[in-house]
């Protein structure tokens, strides 16, 4: 039995026919749509390397059935930069050495973007660490990751204050 | 993972009917279910996708002081919802059963498998010695997304709480309490282990991701 689904991935509509309902969103992105920026780490929802945004929410794509997300708007790491201009979070990760091997980085960046959109963390490092605690880094670059997210958050807070002033 | 049949009903009644078949399981976000399926711990024949069911994603305050949490309310939304100033100040924290590392998947707080059971736990007020700020909320076992579908044939008409669970206050268990003041378990097993561990490990409100 075939399951035709339609997704918007990084702003582009993609129609896919799934031959099997067991296909996870992660496998669909990597194997069918060849968007290999999203990484398969543990494949069990524990490491966060596969984090993508679905309708603005961060989720572990390894534990999401593709067929269940028919019609969803998905943002992956491939869709965050504008051409050669990096997303502020990407730039901050580079500036603060927020990675070593880089395998967890796409998930970390997507998670950081999701965290900021949720608007719950503010510029409190402890809350940022809590909010990013679903993304593991085997290289233990947490210090740089927190600094990077904090940096972007602070600039956002400053921008918000200027707007409201 | 064993292959399965996938259906996506449009109404609660259809969902209950679709899940009446032995070996069926409800699929909401799937964070728990898929993990168990990948590990070969559970192997449903059919997944009933309830994510598109209408009107189950609300948090409502009831006239009797209770709070009704729709089965499709995501834990992250619940954790961020400002229901805390009411009589159940720590409710959001109690509905964060996932280990902290798994926050990235916002998952529904319950599946509609609550339907066949009476999940309307008694609204016993906290013990006199326990003030409102200390009230804790039991997380009914029925809130688990991996519980087996109801076969009792409950319908929204016969069970007004179909698709919902209602939580009630219960006294906080004090540290060192060996059981004499231990509150009676509400519906099944009480808070999940991670929730209990979480509650004892943290003293300030969490950032609210699940």
CB A123 within 8 A of CB A154: yes
Query: What average pLDDT does the segment A107-117 reach?
Result: 96
Of A59, A68, A120, the CB nearest to B106: A59
Whether residue A117 lies within 8 A of chain B, CB to CB, comes out as no
Nearest-CA distance B203 → chain A (Å): 13
Closest CA–CA distance from residue B92 to any residue of chain A (Å) = 14
Chain B positions in Cβ-Cβ contact with residue A136 (cut-off 8 Å): 101
What is the ipTM score, two decimals? 0.88
| Subunit contact B102:A68, Cβ cutoff 8 A | no
Band of pLDDT at residue B109, cut at 50, 70 and 90: very low
Mean pLDDT of chain A: 94
Q: Using one digit for the tens of pLDDT, what is the confidence trace for B15-24?
A: 999 999 999 9
d(CA B70, CA B174): 30
Rounded Cα gap, residues A44 and A30, in angstroms:
16
pTM value surpassing 0.80: no
Q: Are A18 and A84 in contact (CB under 8 A)?
A: no
B26 membership: H or E segment, kind and range: strand B24-27
B14 at interface of A, judged by CB pairs closer than 8 A? no
Are A145 and A59 in contact by the 8 Å Cβ rule? The answer is: no
Query: Which among B6, B35, B106 has CB closest to A3?
Result: B6
Taking a C-beta distance cutoff of 8 angstroms, is the pair A6, A15 a contact?
yes
């Amino acid at each position: 039995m075939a399951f035709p689904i339609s997704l918007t991935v990084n702003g582009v509509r993609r129609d896919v026919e799934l031959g099997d309902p067991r296909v996870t969103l992660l496998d669909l992105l990597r194997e069918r749509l060849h968007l290999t920026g999203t990484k398969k780490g543990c494949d069990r929802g524990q490491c966060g390397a596969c984090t993508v945004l679905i309708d603005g929410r961060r989720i572990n794509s390894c534990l999401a059935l593709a067929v269940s997300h028919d019609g969803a708007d998905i943002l992956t790491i491939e869709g965050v930069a504008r051409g050669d201009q990096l997303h502020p979070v990407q730039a901050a990760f580079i500036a603060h050495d927020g990675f070593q091997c880089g395998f967890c980085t796409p998930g970390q960046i997507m998670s950081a973007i999701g965290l900021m959109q949720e608007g719950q963390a503010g510029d409190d490092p402890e809350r940022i660490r809590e909010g990013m605690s679903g993304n593991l880094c085997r290289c233990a670059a947490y210090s740089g990751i927190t600094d990077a997210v904090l940096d972007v958050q602070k600039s956002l807070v400053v921008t918000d204050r200027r707007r409201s002033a | 993972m064993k292959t399965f049949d996938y259906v996506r009903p449009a109404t609660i009644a259809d969902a209950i009917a679709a899940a009446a078949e032995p070996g069926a399981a409800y699929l909401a976000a799937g964070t728990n279910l898929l993990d168990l399926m990948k590990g070969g711990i559970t192997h449903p024949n059919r997944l009933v996708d309830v994510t598109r069911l209408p009107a189950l994603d609300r948090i409502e305050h009831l006239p009797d002081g209770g709070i009704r949490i729709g089965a499709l309310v995501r834990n992250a939304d619940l954790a961020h919802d400002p229901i805390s100033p009411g009589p159940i100040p720590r409710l959001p924290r109690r509905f964060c059963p996932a280990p902290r590392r798994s926050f990235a998947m916002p998952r529904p707080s319950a599946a509609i498998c609550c339907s066949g059971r009476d999940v309307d736990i008694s609204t016993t007020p906290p013990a006199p010695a326990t003030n409102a700020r200390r009230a804790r909320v039991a997380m009914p076992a029925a809130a688990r997304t991996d519980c087996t579908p109801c076969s009792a044939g409950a319908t929204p008409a016969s069970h007004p709480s179909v698709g919902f669970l209602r939580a009630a206050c219960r006294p906080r268990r004090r540290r060192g309490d060996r059981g004499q003041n231990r509150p009676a378990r509400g519906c099944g097993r009480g808070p999940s282990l991670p929730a209990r561990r979480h509650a004892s490990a943290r003293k300030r409100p969490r950032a609210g991701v699940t």
